[in-house]
Structure 1
Amino acid sequence: MRLTDILAFALRIGELAFAGTVAGLTGSYLHSTHGTSNWSKKRFIYTEAIAGTAILFSLLFLCPFATSFIHWPIDLLLSTSFIIAFGLLAAFIRLKHCGSVWNWQGITAGSSSECAQFKADLAFCFLASIFFLASAVLGGWVVRRVRTARVDGVGARGQKWYRSRV
């Protein structure tokens, strides 16, 4: 059980880092387009809202009392939300004529071009969705394993329910 706790903690740290990066990159774009219509920025507003929600839940689930793994449906929902944001941002990159979504040349060369920032935002959005999906799979697996152990008459720590410690 300790290995799953360590893995869950590492996944939460990754989720927090990637969601924070998505929030920062998306917020930077929203700030630079401050005077334009909100209707043209709807996909970025959605991405920013999902990133903020993901940061909130990642911080909540990092707390020591949240180690029960019953929150895997929220992880699955956030993973799906990030995949939707990924699709929305990928469609926007296609409209901007930034080349292929999977062409990463020039993204790390110190380029501050708009296309490089969009592609970085897209990459971190994808990574956040993968980490939330991995956390959901881990949580679902742990919950299923604990339920199966209890049905078999063995508790979560390998003890029979009727055995006395006296």
Structure 2
Amino acid sequence: MILSRLVSIFLRFGEFVCAAVVLGLSAHFLHQYDKYGVGPKGREIYAVVISSLSVLLSLVWLLPFTSQFMHYPFDLFISAAWFAAFGVFVNWIHRLSCGGIWRWSGLTNGGYCSQWKAAEAFSFIGACFWLASALLGLYVYHKLGNRNAVTDGTHRRRWGRSRV
């Protein structure tokens, strides 16, 4: 149980870092849109909303509570939202003249394409962290949570109707 908590803390910290990077880049893109009218505003707003929500939830769920593995459905939902954000970034990169989405040469220039590809990469990494967190929560909740307390020699039922 301690190993799963340590892995969970590592995953939550990774989720926070990726969300913070994407939040910063997306906020920069929104600023550039307001200043120069360049970029897809709807995509940027979506990325800001998802990354803001992820920063908040990853910080709250970083605290070690006994019920921290119970919200794996939310982790799975946020992972899907991050994969959608990754798709949004990939779709926009196709419209730019930045090369293919897997062409990573020349990223140290600090240009517009480098920033979009960084947002794309961190959104994918963040989605993987959220998915791993959901899978860990699913494993811990269903496998390790099945150890029912035995008080009188009988097992308690977790769900369903009472036999009383």
Offset from partner CA, 1:117-142 (integer Å, 9 cap, x none): 10011000000000000000000000
User: Structure 1: 5+ residue runs without aligned partners?
Assistant: none
Alignment of 1:105-120 (within 5 A): 105-107=105-107, 109=108, 111-120=109-118
Q: Is the 8 A contact 1:83 1:129 kept in 2?
A: yes
TM-score (normalizing by structure 1):
0.85
Structure 2 residue identity aligned to 1:20: A
Which residue of 136, 144, 152 maps to 1:162? Answer: 152
1:12 counterpart residue number: 12
Q: CA RMSD in A?
A: 1.9
1:139 is matched with which residue? 137
Equivalent residue letter for 2:151 = W
Partner AA of 1:162 in structure 2: D
Structural mapping, 1:47-126, within 5 Å:
47-65=47-65, 67-107=67-107, 109=108, 111-126=109-124
Identity %: 35
How many residues are matched?
153
**Deviation of the 1:78 alpha carbon:** 0.7
Residue 97 of structure 1 deviates from its aligned partner by: 2.1
Report the counterpart of residue 126 of structure 2 in structure 1: 128
